[in-house]
Amino acid sequence: MSFPIKITGVKTVVVNAELRNWIFVKVETDQDGLYGWGEASLNWKTRAVTGTVEDLTPLVLGQDPRDIEHILRILNKHSYYRLGIVGATAISGIEHALWDIFGKSVGLPVWRLIGGRTRDKVRVYTHLGLGDMRSVYETFDEGALRDKALAVVEKGYDALKVVFIPYSGFSVDIPSRRHVGRLMRVLREAVGDRVDIMIDFHGRPASIAAALQFIEELAPYAPMFCEEPVLPGDTEALRLVTERAGCPIASGERLIGFKEFEPLFRQNALHIVQPDLNHTGGILEGKRIAAAAEQAFMGVAPHNPNGPIAGAAALHFDVSTPNFVIQEEMSGAVPWYDDVVSVPMRRTGSYWAVPEAPGLGVEINEAEAAKHPFVQEPFHTQGAVLPDGTIADW
């Protein structure tokens, strides 16, 4: 479409997916039938994000949705106060929808507009439980770990992620370290060497020494990477862990925008960056991060435990990004997933196919979505307490 297009409205649709709320963002235009979908889901911040989208909407009304860089500058610079993770997530959802509109307006998939094809298929991994969040965060038993891992492999995946690092302080007792080693050994023996294993530390170790003690137990079993071994924000600590670890280190899901990633590249602080396109500012900001990562000899493995539109946005990013490594995905997280949303992700084994539909290739059934309204998500952080009662990082 060569004629002007104007944004006429922005709205959110919240869908409760049991242990999290999906926040879908719909950007409407003055062209009949031309609209875009994005996602701005953020754990335990649903009302904050939807309110922020509402607050930002007046800034984009009347703008041409295809002028994405221009609109992003408006949203970031005319907000005056720095927006933080809530604002960046709201902007990400709006930005996804703008790309969806742009692709539909020219009849092309988004990946064609952000660099074109760099691969023929996109490798993905999932978590224990195949989308069941209870399995993701509560598998510390050796037998349950083995069974759930084998169930993932039986579904065709050749890569999976686990979270079995205990809540930790500044030091780690020997039994806790040995238990992590046993869990990793059981897991590797169960799935064999042809399946990649990633271990998410969730930033639980409170010191470099504690992180390295756990990594020492894991490294002999060749993890694909250890994720977020220390809390984000301390680049020097992450660099020291990376230098001493006997395996690849990944991090980045909680960072916002290129500015927060830049020190990691400058200091060679890790091996794989994990921007979340749902939180870091959107697809365009993700491309900037990926380009800088490539110059620093780092791969990109986007974080995404979010909803279906976030997965679609990640798919288009992955197709067009040369230093992409592997994609986290959570498809099928609820039984009615396909009733609410149609998505372009089509999995064969451990790969998504390259989509060809215009835009992001997503459609929401708003009538079905309305059957699953907002519910306060459960806080599964109660166990993040040390034996003496000290609150630990979840």
pLDDT average, residue stretch 119-139: 81
* Tokens 């003496």 -> residue: 388
Contact (CB, 8 A) for 202 and 238: no
Cβ count near 95 (within 10 Å):
27
Inform me whether the pLDDT recorded for 330 exceeds 60: yes
pLDDT average, residue stretch 254-277: 97
Q: What is the pLDDT of residues 177-202, one digit of tens each?
A: 999 999 999 999 999 999 999 999 99
Position with higher pLDDT, 89 vs 382: 89
Cβ count near 262 (within 10 Å):
16
What is the overall mean pLDDT for the chain? Answer: 95
Q: Which of 113-127, 134-148, 344-358 has the lowest mean pLDDT?
A: 134-148
pLDDT at 3: 78
Q: What percent of the chain has pLDDT over 90?
A: 88
Contact (CB, 8 A) for 300 and 314: no
Residues 6 or more apart whose CB falls under 8 angstroms from that of 201 comprise 165, 211, 214, 226, 227, 228, 229, 230
* Tokens 């020291």 -> residue: 240
* Domains contained in the chain, CATH given: 112-356 (3.20.20.120)
Q: At what angle do helices 283-295 and 308-319 cross, to 10 degrees?
A: 40
pLDDT at 132: 65
**CA–CA separation, 390 vs 305, rounded Å?**
28
Contact (CB, 8 A) for 205 and 168: yes
**CA–CA separation, 250 vs 227, rounded Å?**
5
Inform me whether the pLDDT recorded for 139 exceeds 80: no
Cβ count near 30 (within 10 Å):
12
Q: At what angle do helices 174-191 and 142-154 cross, to 10 degrees?
A: 30
As given in the structure block, the two tokens for residue 39 are 């996602």
Residues 6 or more apart whose CB falls under 8 angstroms from that of 210 comprise 168, 169, 170, 171, 172
CA distances from 67 to 35, 216, 279 (A): 15, 49, 20
pLDDT at 50: 98
**Residue 143: helix, strand or coil by DSSP?**
helix
pLDDT at 138: 65
**Residue 16: helix, strand or coil by DSSP?**
strand
pLDDT at 131: 63
Inform me whether the pLDDT recorded for 1 exceeds 60: no
pLDDT average, residue stretch 247-253: 98
Position with higher pLDDT, 383 vs 391: 391
Report the alpha-carbon angle 139-141-144, nearest 5.
Answer: 75
How many residues comprise the chain? Answer: 394
Contact (CB, 8 A) for 273 and 250: yes
Confidence class of residue 332 from pLDDT cuts 50, 70 and 90?
confident
Q: What is the set of active-site residues?
A: 202, 303
H-only helix segments in 219-282: 235-244, 257-266
Inform me whether the pLDDT recorded for 314 exceeds 90: yes
pLDDT average, residue stretch 140-166: 95
Contact (CB, 8 A) for 313 and 360: yes
Confidence class of residue 379 from pLDDT cuts 50, 70 and 90?
confident
**Residue 116: helix, strand or coil by DSSP?**
coil
Q: What is the pLDDT of residues 27-76, one digit of tens each?
A: 999 999 999 999 999 999 999 999 999 999 999 999 999 999 999 999 99
Inform me whether the pLDDT recorded for 282 exceeds 90: yes
pLDDT average, residue stretch 217-245: 97
**CA–CA separation, 246 vs 112, rounded Å?**
38
Nearest residue to 334 via CA among 44, 37, 45, 15: 15
pLDDT average, residue stretch 301-329: 97
Contact (CB, 8 A) for 184 and 194: no
Inform me whether the pLDDT recorded for 135 exceeds 80: no
DSSP state of 220: G
